[in-house]
Structure 1
C-alpha cells in the first residue's frame, strides 16, 4: 500500500500520524529556537524538545526495536497504541504549549500548540468514528518491523 493509498482510506489515525510527524519536526525546531530566551519560556522550549522525541518514538514504532531504550521507556511508549490515548497525549502536549501564553511572552511555540491540537483532533475523530488504529507502513507500521527482524 502506497502513501497515497493510505490517505485514500479516509482513516483519521493516518492523518493524525502524519500530522504528528510534522509536529515532531516543528517541536524540535521551535524548541531550539526558543531555548535562547532568558526567561520562563526556556522551560516551555525544553518541554517542546522533549515532546518531539516522545512523538518520534510514538509515531515511528520501528525505532523501539532499533534504538537501545529501557524497558520502562518502552512500556511508557506502548501505552499510546490506541486512538484515544494518542489523542490524550497530543492534547496534553498542546495544552502545555498553550500555557506558555500565561507567562506574558508570546512566542512561536504557539504554532506547535496549534499543530499538536490538530493531531489530537485527528486521533479523537478516528476514535469517535470507531475507526481502527492504522499505522502508516512508510513509518514502520504493520508488517515493516517483522520484515526487518
Structure 2
C-alpha cells in the first residue's frame, strides 16, 4: 500500500498518524526556536521538545525495535496503541501548548493547533469505530517484525 492509497483509505487513524508526523517536525522546530525567549515560555518550549521525542516513538513503531529503550518506556509508549489513547495524549499536549497563551502569544500556537487536529482525527477514528491502523510506510503492520 502506497502513501496515496493510505490517504485514500478514509481511515482517520492514518490521517492522525500523518498529521502526527507533521506535529513531530513542528515540536522540534518550535520547541528549539522558542527556547531563546529567556522567559517563562522556556517551560512550554522544553515540554514541546520533549513531546516531540515521545511522539516519534508513538508514531513510528519501528523505532522501538531499533533504539535501545528501557522496559518502562516501552510499556509507556505501548499504552497509546488505540485511537482513544492517542487522541487523549495529543489532546493533553495541545492543551498544555494552548496554556502558553497565559503569558503571551508565540509560535507555540501553531503546534497547539496541529496537535489538536491530530487529536480530533484519532477521536473521529474512535467514534466511527475504525480500528487503529498504522501506516506501513512508517514501520507499522509487519515492517517492524521483518527487522528483528
Moved more, 134-143 or 2-11: 2-11
Deviations 1:45-64 (A, max 9, x none): 00000000011000000100
Task: Please tell me whether residue 95 in structure 1 is matched to residue 95 in structure 2.
Answer: yes
Deviation at 1:147, TM superposition (A): 1.4
Give the Cα separation in 2 of the matches to 1:125 and 1:30.
27
Aligned to 2:143: 144
Give the Cα separation in 2 of the matches to 1:93 and 1:118.
12
Moved over 3 A (4+): none
Deviations 1:89-136 (A, max 9, x none): 000000000000012x21000000000000000000000000000000
Give the Cα separation in 2 of the matches to 1:143 and 1:2.
15
Q: Number of matched residues?
A: 148
Give the Cα separation in 2 of the matches to 1:57 and 1:27.
14
Give the Cα separation in 2 of the matches to 1:68 and 1:16.
26
Task: Please tell me whether residue 54 in structure 1 is matched to residue 54 in structure 2.
Answer: yes
Give the Cα separation in 1 of the matches to 2:126 and 2:73.
25
Aligned to 2:77: 77
TM-score, normalisation: structure 2: 0.99
Aligned to 2:7: 7
Aligned to 2:38: 38
Aligned to 2:64: 64
Give the Cα separation in 1 of the matches to 2:20 and 2:2.
19
Deviation at 1:7, TM superposition (A): 1.1
Give the Cα separation in 1 of the matches to 2:4 and 2:41.
39
Aligned-partner SS, 2:37: coil
Give the Cα separation in 2 of the matches to 1:35 and 1:77.
26
Aligned to 1:117: 116
CA root-mean-square deviation: 0.5
Flag structure 1 segments of 5+ consecutive residues without an equivalent.
none
Aligned to 2:129: 130
Give the Cα separation in 2 of the matches to 1:5 and 1:146.
22
